[in-house]
Amino acid sequence: MNGCLDRSAEECLAVNLCELDCWTFMENSLAIALAEPGDFQSYKAHLQELRYWGGNVNGYGSRIHYFTGWLLQNEKRGILQDLTEEMGGIPYRKKIGYISARPAKYPKIKNSDNLRAIRMAERRINAHQWFYIPQARIAKMEHLIQEGDIVSLTAWKPELDIAHQGFAVKINGRIHLMHASSLGKK
């Protein structure tokens, strides 16, 4: 899956249900759920709204590259609600800037317009107060997680927000993570 959204020289809405990572699995699932049944154009419109800042495809920098940005935009659109603080979350004090700090890893930010857009997105994300639930507290609040909730796992890498995400599902009364693993190729 790595690079699936970057295969085209020009930014365009990539539609690929055969190669999914954790993020594209979630946003494609949500786009399908929001679309009119059987309407491919409706699905594509929702996918674009979910994937791009303001729903507009306008270069590499218009795509949402940080999952916290995806959460921020889609909460603003009324698609989801961040309940982390209400569930006992504590402030997540991390300055996001992983992509802009690594131009060798992200060649498309060598373009000054793309880099400027990424930095603007990082500023928006950093201006928002985020919360997380420390691993030691998860068992105590597991009963608050509902099936279908989006679960995000914070990143250990400096300047990176989220490492993995998926949907909460209940199996035998316990919450599990339904996700796609690019590392596990499943």
- Mean pLDDT across the chain, nearest whole number? 93
115 contact partners, CB below 8 Å, separation of at least 6: 61, 100, 103, 109
Six-digit token string for 132: 């997380």
Q: Which amino acid is at 78?
A: G
Determine the pLDDT at residue 3: 65
pLDDT interval class at 7 (50, 70, 90): confident
| Residue 108 predicted with pLDDT over 90 | yes
Can you list the domains of the chain with their CATH numbers?
4-178 (1.10.3670.10)
Residues 62-72: tens digit of each pLDDT: 999 999 999 99
Stated as kind and residue range, the H or E segment containing 105 is none
CB 47 within 8 A of CB 38: no
Residues 126-151: tens digit of each pLDDT: 999 999 999 999 999 999 999 999 99
